[in-house]
Structure 1
């Protein structure tokens, strides 16, 4: 009986060990907006879903949406770490300090923060070169505008948003010296009501091509109703404005999520600052409208190809700020570290950067 009990015990231990060995690698995601925003958080969640599909039952993902930036974010990130997640992606700039705090308390968990610049032994950063898409958007807006007035809806005045505004205006100016830009800040990533109001305010001021760094399709819907043109943000938003929509600059986070998860699972992960754009196929122009003039379509293709190939880099000097200072010397291209610190408007933008 003792021998039989021993074998039963060993069998149970083997079963437990096998079950433990088969436990999936856990990955958590924190989103600033709803997964149904059809913009930023929507595309992050598409990347999560592709991660699930790629690894199957080897990986188990979970997410928390609508997380405010600040104390609530720290609480949510902490809960994900306590829940046994091996890797946690936090996907908004305002999650930077909360992520850093939690990473220090959970050294065995790997953290990745989107659009930030603070790293540690178990915290890396990643961002898209959205300014590449904005540059193509600006060229297009400069060619399409009939009023010589283009509009931009900003979320928060952080470097990512400011450099995208700069890229847009430099591009528009390169093809239309008479173009002007009007900017409205909504101080929100996702608020369809505020975004609609901002779009209408800009249109009332003569804007006839509209761009945004907010996450809902509300500005496109407003553009469709008012008979102007607009460019979609983060995901393919063409269905909301079949006539107004020029194209959408689509984010694709899946390649990075898959690559990073692999590296953590196999023990090769190291904290780094990753930037992905056209060249990595993490940024694309979605649903270019066939109603565009042929010359505009040709210029879109030409600009996209030049940026993707590396032949042209938008932030190459000489560049002056709107106070007349040289901020990028002739022949110099801003490094990623310098891009992460852009806090000035380029020459020709008459507004002041909000503080």
Structure 2
């Protein structure tokens, strides 16, 4: 009997041990059922952080000039407000060797896109672009380009055409003065558009040009405006960055047309309107292209009034309502994309037809414009 009980005890122990082993063997099967979900979560690809774009700007004059560099810096500030962009700028950089040094320093510091905003920065930009093929460059107002350099500008001649209409309607002497920067197509094209617009309102008008060969020299530019006022001009326009010509016109009790930004605060009694820039859309679109990889070099881009890049400032209270209506009607055509500024017949100073009757100037003709239209008094030099 003891033997039987002992045998039964051993059997019971073996059964308990077997059940324990079976239980231990089932546990891994339950874990295997959970593993696929954990493995799947671990295999999910990590999302990349959005690219931060580092943008540099080089200016030819102070950002406080109320003119060209001021307008560019307003565009930079619009870009800087984006949370994925960081910007930096250097102001009052002379064209030539100094600009090359500044542009190269920016490229060395790893800027993703560098905007060089003056015509005279063209060759330095091309040169530095070759040294830093992985960097991207945008040069304003020039004509040269390369694999990593695109040139850009706006059809500001459209705004010039409208401001010319205002000046032509407001002159009493039929003499308009134009304080001009450098004899390059950009400036000549603007003078011509101004003259064409003015003569649409007053066929007897003439536009007298004085060259300063400066972008920013308030004293010299004010003196140039005074010389035009002394010659009988009663409306002064300009292509430089300072409001000095505006101030000269107000001091003489005459009218003025500003450039780059709304200059009415500097000459409230004289200021009729201004041809103005809005660089924000240009710079925002460019940094977005850099960020998403769609930016391309070796291009020439020319934005228009249709794109919202150029426009005119509000016309002053001294401008009659019928003049405002006529100007705004032409502006509406430009905003729709109908470029009406250089439609033939257009003659040069000698009376030679340069743009045939009914034809519009081509972009090539506008880019290469080195002649004055009929009604302009001055020389292209």
- 155-164 or 270-279, larger mean C-alpha shift: 270-279
The CA distance in 2 between the partners of 1:206 and 1:109, in whole Å, is 51
- Tell me the residue number matched to 2:296: 270
Candidates 269, 273, 277, aligned match of 1:247: 273
Q: Residue in 1 aligned with 2:24?
A: none
Say whether 1:329 aligns with 2:353: no
Corresponding residue for 1:5?
Answer: none
**Residue 30 (str. 1) matches residue 71 (str. 2):** no
Alpha-carbon distance between aligned partners in 2 of 1:205 and 1:87, rounded to the nearest angstrom: 46
**1:187-209: CA deviation from partner (whole Å, max 9, x where unpaired):** 10011101110111111111111
- Is 1:280 paired with 2:307? yes
TM-score norm. by structure 2 comes to 0.84
Displacement after TM superposition at 1:23 (Å)? 7.7
SS, match of residue 232 in structure 2: coil
C-alpha contact 2:116 2:138 (8 A) present in aligned 1: yes
SS of the counterpart of 2:193?
A: helix
For structure 1, the residue ranges without an aligned partner over 5 or more in a row are 1-17
* Distance in structure 2 (CA, Å) of the matches to 1:241 and 1:337: 37
Indicate if the aligned counterparts of 1:238 and 1:287 stay in contact, CA closer than 8 A. Answer: no
* TM superposition shift of 1:290: 2.1
Work out which of the residue numbers 153, 162, 173 in structure 2 matches 1:147: 173
Select 1:200's aligned residue among 206, 226, 251. 226
Answer whether contact 1:115 1:160 (CA < 8 A) is retained.
yes
Larger Rg: 1 or 2?
2
Is 1:90 paired with 2:122?
Answer: no
State TM-score, norm by structure 1: 0.90
For 1:64-79, list aligned pairs within 5 A: 64-79=90-105
1:103 touches 1:109 (CA, 8 Å); kept in 2? yes
Structure 2 match to 1:313: 340
Aligned residues: 334
Specify the alignment match of 2:145 in structure 1: 119
RMSD over aligned CA atoms reads 1.6
For the 8 Å contact 2:209–2:376, the answer to whether it is kept is: no
User: Which secondary structure does the structure 1 equivalent of 2:88 belong to?
Assistant: strand
Matches of 2:175 and 2:342 in 1, distance apart? 23
Q: 2:132 maps to which residue?
A: 106
2:278 aligned with 1:234, yes or no?
no
Q: 1:28–1:89: 8 Å Cα contact kept in structure 2?
A: yes
What's the CA shift for 1:21?
Answer: 5.9
The residue number in structure 2 matching 1:50 is 78
Runs of 4+ in 1 over 3 A off after TM superposition: 20-24
CA deviation after TM superposition for structure 1 residue 303, in Å: 2.0
Secondary structure in structure 2 of the residue aligned to 1:32 = coil
Shift of 1:22: 7.5
